Copies of this chain bind each other. A is one copy, B any other.
Amino acid sequence: MTGDELDDEIAALLQRADQRYTKGRRALVAALRAAGQPVTILQILDAADGLAQSSVYRNLAALEEAGVVTRVITNDEFARYELAERLTEHHHHLICSMCGDVFDFSLGARTEASLDKALHRVADDAGFTVEAHRLDLVGTCPRCD
């Protein structure tokens, strides 16, 4: 997806949620795009300066509500954010249990498909309506090893 297509898609998502695509929100999206991996609020504040902490928190919540970004759950105490899969592509996370850093990875289409089938079977049995699945690898990254 090119930058313009991405922007159009985001604008549409925000409009649907009655939200404006403001300067601050554009800066957030740019920071997430530049990072290329899930980042903490602190990292965002350091990278894209001129943003107020309270606005970053508020706007990330608005963007999440609109389906533009996703909050990534990890082991440490800091929330991380990345662009939603609808704007990128389905992927999973490598989480370093030492430093907390998070990296993306994908499985082959075949593995992903068979996993998805198995998961839907499980969900049906349990009466669950599936929204998403989350697959994380927890370990030690090369830098911390």
Interface, chain A (partner B; CB < 8 A): 71, 73-75, 94, 96-97, 103, 105, 107-108, 111, 114-115, 118-119, 122-123, 126-142, 145
Contact = CB atoms under 8 A, between A and B. Distances in A.
Could you say how many copies of this chain the assembly holds?
Answer: 2
Contact of A75 (B73, B107, B126): B73
Contact of A131 (B123, B126, B140): B140
Nearest to A134: B136
A98 to B, nearest CB: 10
Contacts of A137: 119, 122-123, 128, 130, 132-134
Given A122-B137, A134-B136, A136-B133, A127 B115 contact: no
